[in-house]
Amino acid sequence: MKSMIIAFVAIAVLAVAADVVLDNMGFSTREQTSGPSTRNG
Amino acid sequence: MTLHRLLVVVLSLTVLFAPASWAEDVATGVEDPRAATGGAQTLEDILARQRGEAIDDTFRSEKIGDPDHAARMTDQLGTLGGASDADMYRSLRYGSAEVKVSSRSPAAGVLIQDGGMAWLKFRQGPLLTYGGYLLLGMLVVLLLFYLLRGKIRIDGERTGVKIMRFNSMERFAHWLLAGSFIILGITGLISLFGRVALIPLFGKEVFSPIAIAAKWAHNNIAWAFMVGLVLVFVFWVIENIPNRTDLRWLAKGGGLFSKGVHPPAKKFNAGQKIIFWSVIVLGVSISVSGLSLLFPFQLPMFAATFEKMNALGLPQLVGMAPLPTDLAPHQEMQLSQSWHAIIAFVFMAIIIAHIYLGSVGMEGAFDAMGTGEVEVQWAKEHHSLWYEEVTGEADDHATSPAE
């Protein structure tokens, strides 16, 4: 059962990491869809 | 008097030539079906559209004004530059307008996209209905199977000895894929059925945070699913290559439908191989369409796919017209979403059956993925050839599978 629990933790870690990394790489909706003369939200 | 004569001449000419041009039209069979509306759509056009018939709407898509013959600036409507407001809206709707926007999004220049209506109707209609029926149908089939066949028990006497079936890395890969799949399935269903099933149940205030959380989870957990898919493929592909044993296993229905029948199988039986290849094929397809949705408008894939399908003549084979290859950015997204959801329903239906057989449906099956070790008697009954390979011991069932 240890492998199962480690896998579930890995899912959470990968999800948070993906969110942070993509955001820092400029893949947020805000950065992707707005320019200097437009604003979202 | 001169003016009077001139009028008579003009009138005579009109009378002389008018019937001639009319006769010409009749002779060539050309008759403008929209003459009565001055070229605008007729009641027949509207009714045909409402019946869902495809109509040739070039009479509208091409009527977008003529800037080259625009009225002079000082004349009436001159400021419109040869295109009336209606002309302009038509050019926006049919995607021929030159739109300049300061937003960076590739789709920002599409101001009207009426193909979205067909997608919305599909998403709220057949997708929900048939997708829902598919999942419920699978649950009913499994319930009937359980009632008729019952839990598949270990027939022989338990030995109390365990044998390693899946090591910790294999189990990690399986649960990475399985755990992420279950969350993706639930959050996907929340997104799809939210409006029709959850909002009426909880109200919009409660559904809103659920929808936001579901979207975050769905978008970000997708990566764990893709990693799990690659790992599972690498670990198990060799043992899932079909062979002759699978035909014998399938011929006996895998022993699923009759007690005491255990056709021989290696590490994976034919049923598991079907699950494996379904997971790989559907998993890749759902991942690619999912990536297209994760990075909106940046990974369009349908125009290129349709082009290849047309070149191979696939749509023509089934009597369809060639598929459209000039797709608006939104259309690409709509097709990706529809495809993603169709694949997801098929995928979920298959996995529900897999979960059933791996848990309540078969005694001793869960241990393989739980602790990784299975009861020797279970291994002998369900994977006799694999048992022989691992232990070097011959098994009775392998030699007399029809027992």
Asked whether the beta carbons of B334 and B120 are under 8 A apart, the reply is no
Predicted confidence at residue B5, as pLDDT, reads 61
pLDDT of residue B172: 96
Any chain B CB within 8 A of the CB of A2?
yes
Q: Phi and psi (nearest 5°) for B328?
A: -70, 155
Same domain, B56 and B174: no
Distance from CA of B194 to the nearest CA of A (A): 23
B238 and B294 share one domain:
yes
Token code pair at residue B110: 């599409």
Dihedral (C-alpha) B275, B281, B283, B285: value to the nearest 10 degrees? -150
* Residue B328, CA distances (Å) to B55, B119, B211, B348 in order: 20, 13, 27, 30
- Give the list of residues 6+ apart from residue A11 with CB closer than 8 angstroms, or none: B176, B179, B180, B183, B221, B224
Residues B305 and B19: their CA atoms lie apart, in Å, by: 54
Nearest CB neighbour to B104, from listed A1, A15, A33? A33
Check if the beta carbon of residue B362 is closer than 8 Å to that of residue B370.
no
Q: Say whether pTM exceeds 0.90.
A: no
Residue B9 has pLDDT above 60, yes or no: no
Q: Quick one: pLDDT at residue B22?
A: 42
Q: Considering the domain boundaries, does residue B107 fall inside one?
A: no
Asked if residue B81 and residue B193 are part of one domain, the reply reads no
Q: What 3 state SS string does B239-272 have? A: HHCCCHHHHHHHHCHHHCCCCCCCCCCCCCCHHH
Report the range out of B10-24, B99-113, B233-247, B387-401 with the highest average pLDDT. B233-247
Phi then psi for residue B164, to 5 deg, are: -70, 125
Task: Examine the domain organization and report whether B262 and B338 are in the same domain.
Answer: yes
Residues of B in contact with A6 (CB under 8 A): 172
Contacts A14 to B, Cβ<8 Å: 220-221, 223-224, 227
Task: Note whether B349 and B134 are within 8 A (CB).
Answer: yes
Position B20 in a domain: no
The lowest-confidence range among B34-38, B131-135, B184-188 is B34-38
Instruction: State mean pLDDT over B151-169.
Output: 87
Q: How confident is the model over B193-203, as a mean pLDDT?
A: 94
Q: Are the beta carbons of B100 and B109 closer than 8 angstroms?
A: yes
- The answer as to whether B69 is a domain residue is yes
Partner-chain residue, chosen from B102, B219, B372, that has the shortest CB–CB distance to A35: B102
β-sheet bridge partners, residue B34: none
Nearest-neighbour CA in chain A from B224: distance (Å): 5
> B399 to chain A nearest CA, in Å?
34
- Give the number of other CB atoms < 10 A from CB of residue B138: 18
CA-to-CA distance for B370 and B378, rounded, in angstroms? Answer: 15
Give the pLDDT band (50/70/90) at residue B25: very low
Is B7 part of a structural domain of the chain? no
CA B323 to the chain's CA centroid? 16
Using CA atoms, how far residue B249 sits from B38, B297, B362, B369, B382, in Å, is 71, 46, 17, 22, 11
This model of the complex carries an ipTM of 0.89
pLDDT, tens digit (0-9, with 9 covering 90-100), for B104-116: 677 788 888 878 8
Q: How far apart are CA B396 and CA B157, in angstroms?
A: 14
Is A35 within 8 Å of B221 when comparing Cβ atoms? Answer: no
Short-list B143, B163, B184, CA closest to B347: B184
Residue B171 included in any domain: yes
Number of folded domains that form chain B: 2
* Chain A, window 9-28: residues with a beta carbon less than 8 angstroms from a chain B beta carbon: 10-11, 14-16, 18-19, 27
In terms of domains, do B340 and B383 share one?
Answer: yes
| B79 in the same domain as B218 | no
Q: In angstroms, what CA-CA distances link B254 with B155, B245, B273, B403?
A: 15, 11, 12, 13
Q: Look at A15 and B220 and tell me if their CB atoms are within 8 Å.
A: yes
Three-state secondary-structure class, residue B110: coil
Same structural domain for residues B163 and B203? yes
B64 and B194 share one domain: no
- On the question of pLDDT at B27 being above 60, the answer is no
The CATH number assigned to the domain holding B385 equals 1.20.950.20
Nearest by CB: A15 against B173, B174, B224: B224
Which of A3, A19, A29 is best to mutate for the B interface (most B CBs within 10 A)?
A3
DSSP assignment letter at B323: P
- Residue-wise pLDDT tens digits, B333-381: 999 999 999 999 999 999 999 999 999 888 888 888 999 989 888 888 8
| pLDDT tens-digit map of B229-276 | 999 999 999 999 999 988 988 988 887 887 778 888 888 999 999 999
Question: Which of B105, B168, B183 is nearest residue A32 as measured by Cβ atoms?
Answer: B105
B302-345 per-position pLDDT tens digit: 999 999 999 999 998 988 888 988 888 889 999 999 999 999 99
Instruction: Give the separation between CA B308 and CA B315, rounded to whole angstroms.
Output: 11
**Under 8 Å between Cβ of A19 and B216:** yes
Decide if B255 contacts B203 (C-beta within 8 A): no
Domain that includes residue B89, residue range: 49-98
Shared domain check, B82 and B121: no
